[in-house]
Structure 1
């Protein structure tokens, strides 16, 4: 619950009592006072949750570019806080509307408490003065990131525990909305923090917040393949799987958000490498084809020789909580989402569905074609900002 504070003026100075825990102060309230506080909080949540939010797009990330003026810093702060408030309240509203047996699940209840804490953090910003204090805002946003470090893991465990008494379709629908809005919140916060760091001249000049103007795609693919090869060596004690990139003569660059593409390639490579290792074909190369028909489009094909996917698995592989891993080992690998550690999600069936969510958020697409007994092709379409949007001066 919100921390209740009493303040008064004494000798021209303002004093505030913060020492007493909020639960002690709440215990002194009458039932009517307690009910009024809770009702006001619910009304606030409903109000912010009802506000429409335009889908996040590249135009949003390009509207402010370093170096920022004081006015631009102020406007960016206002927009980010308002969007985070609406998204936080939408998640609270969605969780509270789950069936009773879902809401009382300890993991889902913990998720609800986490979002209430996030709402408290956002509402604790003192208007209008703290809006002109970037270090203070950055500290609060960093606190949000830290608080939500294991949020997906906690929610995933809760939803797995209620699968037997809650329709899978409704769980999938809830997760679709939850993860899209969760990803949006993460991108908003990390973009804000990145822009503020760049405003001090601390980072790569090719970056606009979290957006990279000219990301070398082949270089990123090599980085990810080395990482997944290291994981497979530790896990399976096998030789390294080679990766061939076509065309090899040039390094195609593309404007996108690097951690998103890195996460997607990591998930695709993990599946491809493990499939070939299971058949003893780790010596055969994974083939990558790149095609950039326009400045704002990039196509990738990832081909493995891992024996293909059965029709039963292929029909379910984009469903949340479906996994071919029957048991997750205690020392399983970790995968990083932009701004977030999800060390225990591996094996929970979130990999490909989250790749799909990331791509569709920015107009991209992922398709899988498999030939049983031979191998699998994964087709990825990435959409970037238009050249006009990149060159426009704001």
Structure 2
């Protein structure tokens, strides 16, 4: 249904207003305190009816700066329409100052509707980039790092991290005050304040092993060592979002299994995957080591690029039939989940031998701050083709630090 000119102008003014604000990052400590001590449904409503439009408008601004070729792809237009619709729906609560149970119920149901609408955003945006590659195969080559692909990678990092943050805030509200029920009674929203890291690792290994055996009829074993030097004798536990950690661990283990099985396919035994979990005072580190043959330094520059994969791209598979590899979103998306609350994901490889993956998470909840993209002039310039010209005689040094234009300062929920 088409908007009237007056309604269109009102929405445009609202969009420009919210896009002028920067997101307000929160920490895991903020979310835990709010969900268990200081917060209530009305306070969450007041915060989210402003914060969600800010986050939506910031990333919608960047969608408008994408190369025209990408913006014209059908799947990208579909994603844009979802964001436009969700922004308009949240605006309906902007001026509702009298908060009663009916308004709160409508808001919670509206957030759940938005979450469901955006459930296929990652796959749909990936399809849009694939449409671009198929339409302009020589111009957008995702097997090399160039000016065109760097701008798209920059956008996808920010777009997907923004999506993680929006879903996190929505999930917290609907789990605490809506009709959804948390997976575990100990959870505060989607956060486990005492997550057993080894337990999540074993769940991820079980899922990855099931998938690997379905493809190769075999899978490597896993050997785990735990170090907890400051809490000797205790299980390693931290406050985190278990679903995020499970996603990261599953992706790394899946890749390690595939590489290990294929490297040792003609041998009598398959080497185990070795995992070390260490809880320090500030960082939790999970090191996953395999003997899967490793990769070269040239490949290292590509492993976190979207659309890049060492496996052939699989044919479409239906629900419940996940591919072992091939789409090229697993590692970059896993790194975003790690970075979202101040952690990281890094790979170190020895070509001809194997790869070590390092997952870092914050131990102290007040240090686990959201890392959010902020739309500003720096961000807008990153989409200009002349920004990415290298000032080195060869490939510029690879940098795994946070992209420019990200916010890492926390502000408490009020």
Relative to the length of structure 2, the TM-score reads 0.76
1:353-364 aligned within 5 A: 353-364=332-343
For residues 65 and 50 of structure 1, do their structure 2 counterparts lie closer, same or farther at Cα, with a shift above 3 Å needed?
Answer: same
Q: Which residue of 186, 193, 196 corresponds with 1:216? A: 196
The structure having more radius of gyration, on CA atoms, is 1
Tell me which residue corresponds to 1:327: 313
Residue 245 of structure 1, aligned match among 204, 224, 229 = 224
Instruction: For residue 259 of structure 1, give the secondary structure of its aligned residue in structure 2.
Output: helix
**What corresponds to 1:62 in structure 2?**
32
Aligned to 1:168: 149
Does the alignment pair 1:101 with 2:69? yes
CA distance, structure 2, for counterparts of residue 388 and residue 234 of structure 1: 40
Q: Render the CA deviation track for 1:323-378: whole Å, top value 9, x for unaligned.
A: 1222213338869xxxxxxx789632111111222222212122211111211111
2:292 to 264, 288, 306: 306
Matched with 1:116 is 84
1:1-394 correspondence runs (5 A): 22-23=1-2, 34-66=4-36, 72-125=40-93, 127-129=96-98, 132-133=101-102, 134-163=104-133, 164=136, 165=139, 167-196=148-177, 204-238=184-218, 240-247=219-226, 251-280=235-264, 283-294=270-281, 296-331=282-317, 347-386=326-365
1:311-333 alpha-carbon deviations (Å, 9 max, x no partner): 22211111122112222133388
Aligned residue pairs: how many?
348
Alignment root-mean-square deviation, CA: 2.9
Distance 2:121 2:275 in 1: 33
Q: Distance in 1 between matches of 2:359 and 2:65?
A: 35
**Mapped partners of 2:100, 2:325: distance in 1:** 39
Provide the secondary structure at the position in 1 that maps to 2:301. Answer: helix
Q: Deviations over 1:69-127 (max 9, x none)?
A: 7xx22111111221111112223222223333332221111111111111122123371
Shift in alpha-carbon separation, 1:323–1:140, aligned structure 2, 3 A: same
Cα deviation for residue 131 of structure 1 reads 5.9
State the distance in 1 between where 2:10 and 2:43 align.
28
Stretches (4+) displaced over 6 A: 200-203, 332-335
| Aligned-pair CA distance for 1:309 | 1.4
Q: Structure 1 331/323 Cα, relative in aligned 2: closer, same or farther at 3 Å?
A: same
Residue deviations 1:128-177, cap 9 Å, x none?
A: 34664443222111101110111111111212333445611111111121
Check the 8 A contact 2:29/2:365 in 1, yes or no: no
Instruction: Summarize deviations over 1:183-205 as a string: whole Å, max 9, x none.
Output: 1101111111222269x997745
Q: Is the 8 A contact 1:287 1:303 kept in 2?
A: yes
With 313-322 and 133-142 compared, the bigger mean Cα shift is at 133-142
**Runs of 5+ consecutive residues of structure 2 not aligned to the other structure:** 141-147, 228-232, 369-413
Structure 1, 110-119 or 240-249: larger mean CA deviation: 240-249
TM-score if structure 1 supplies the norm length?
A: 0.80
